[in-house]
Amino acid sequence: VLCTQFFQPSTRTRFSHETAMIRLGGSVITESNPLVSSSAAKGESLYDSLRVTSQYSDIIVLRHPDANVIETIEKLGKDASPIISGGYGDLTHPTQGLLDMYTAYRALGGDFKKMTVMIATPDLSRARSGQSFGLGLARMGTKLIYSGTTGLEIPLVIREKLKKMNANFSEVNDLTIDQHEEMLADEKVDLLYLPGCSVKKGDPGRDEFLKKMAEYYFTLDGLQRIKHKSGKTVGLMHSLPRNEGEFDFSIDSSEHELYFKQIGFSVPLRMSLLVNICGV
């Protein structure tokens, strides 16, 4: 039995884990709005909640807005079922990162040391899927280029991890869309990763994010210009959901599209993850 407990909205992460367990022959119990419809609404602590739901399930997928949730999980120890991160805080989304790495592996033939990947977003400070993807790629020897805006750079903890593993990475800020295209061609980038906006509607940070998207708005024409100059078919990846104005949706039906292919890979990848964690 899989229990999914999501303290933040989700479609892909929750459904792909649930579908994976169902396809394996297991069953699912789910809580998609615990602050309203579970005992968390009555003030139950996360510690108590996880200790209770562990009595009903063999494995838990948890999404939570606070990265420090890991301290509660460590405190629980063996009193909780194995817990998979469905994304914690602004810094970590490891199963998304694993899925993104698998997509890169499938798209580019599997040699990470030969890949060059750009992670581009106006807000690198809250790009949790981009952080996990980048750390995984760096571990495997990929060349990384981070492109963001001044004041919203890679978090220090991520930067220190990259340095500790002697990662081949660089960071640029405040590029125009023309400069982005020029760099993608000159650096012979294989994959362009857009982490998207993790800020919910109504948050002022979301409006600010979308205002800055003009210089990160990659078009089909632009990707084809890059191909003409560099000879590279740049694959476009996005963590989804996407918003109007983030990139050209005509890329959907082009050779550059990888974001829906990512979704196709998500269920078998998470089936494998569940099987390995459950010890089957």
Is pTM, for the whole model, over 0.85?
Answer: yes
pLDDT 10s digit of each residue in the chain, 280 long?
999 999 998 999 999 999 999 999 999 999 988 888 888 878 889 999 999 999 999 999 999 999 999 999 999 999 999 999 999 988 899 999 999 999 999 999 889 999 999 999 998 998 999 999 999 999 999 999 999 999 999 999 999 999 999 999 999 999 999 999 999 999 999 999 999 766 666 666 667 777 778 899 999 999 999 999 999 999 999 988 888 888 999 999 999 999 999 999 999 999 999 999 988 7
Q: How far is CA 82 from the centre of its chain?
A: 21
Query: At 44, which amino acid appears?
Result: E
Instruction: Give the DSSP per-residue string, 157-216.
Output: HHHHHHHHTT--EEEEES--HHHHHHHHHHTT-SEEEE----SPTT-HHHHHHHHGGGGG
Taking the chain, what is the end-to-end CA distance rounded to the nearest angstrom?
A: 13
